[in-house]
Amino acid sequence: MKKVLIIEDDSFLQGLEASKIEKEGYSIITASSGEEAMKKIYEPGIDIVLLDLILPNFDGFEILKKIKEVEELKNIPVIVFSNLSEEKSIKKSKELGAIDFMVKSNFTLDELVKHINTILK
């Protein structure tokens, strides 16, 4: 079973994302703050990370930077899943190595899962 790390501080959204992705056959780990995420990224067997940008403690950019700096983590695909949409955030995410930038409100959870499936195919 493939493992998804969901980094999302809004507990309601996190619950909806986790329940949908789990239903589609993935195992889930969650982190609700930047600090928690910085620990959870080292859990073994993570296949993909879903990363919010505005988080307490460390923001999503710092987490993304860390993932791409660490040799054993740098190949894990990271989808930035945020409700920010300005060009500077998209550009920065791509520069830091995100595989994609999805604006949450533009997608249904079905579309999100399809996207994860395609990346992990």
Partner 1 sequence: MEEIEKLKKENELLKKINENKSDIISITAHQLRTSLSALKWIFKMFIDEDLGKLNNEQNELIQKAYNSNERMLTLINDLLTLSHSEDASITYNFKKIDFLYLVEQTLFEFSGETNKKGIELIFLRPETPLPLINCDEEMIRVVIQNLVENSIKYSNTGGKVFVSLSQKENNIQISIRDSGIGISQRDENNIFQKFFRAPNAIEKDVIGSGLGLFTTKNIIEKHNGKIWFENKEGQGTIFFVTLPII
List residues near partner 1 by CB under 8 A.
10, 12-13, 16, 20, 54, 82-87, 103-106, 108-110
Q: Among residues 64 and 76, whose Cβ is nearest to partner 1?
A: 64
* Whether 89 contacts 82, CB under 8 Å: yes
Q: How far is the CB of 27 from partner 1 (least distance, A)?
A: 20
Name which of 49 and 82 has its Cβ closer to partner 1: 82
Cβ atoms 92, 71 nearer than 8 A: no
Q: Which CB, 30 or 46, lies closer to partner 1?
A: 30
Phi, psi of 40 (to 5 degrees): -65, -25
Start-to-end C-alpha separation, the chain: 13
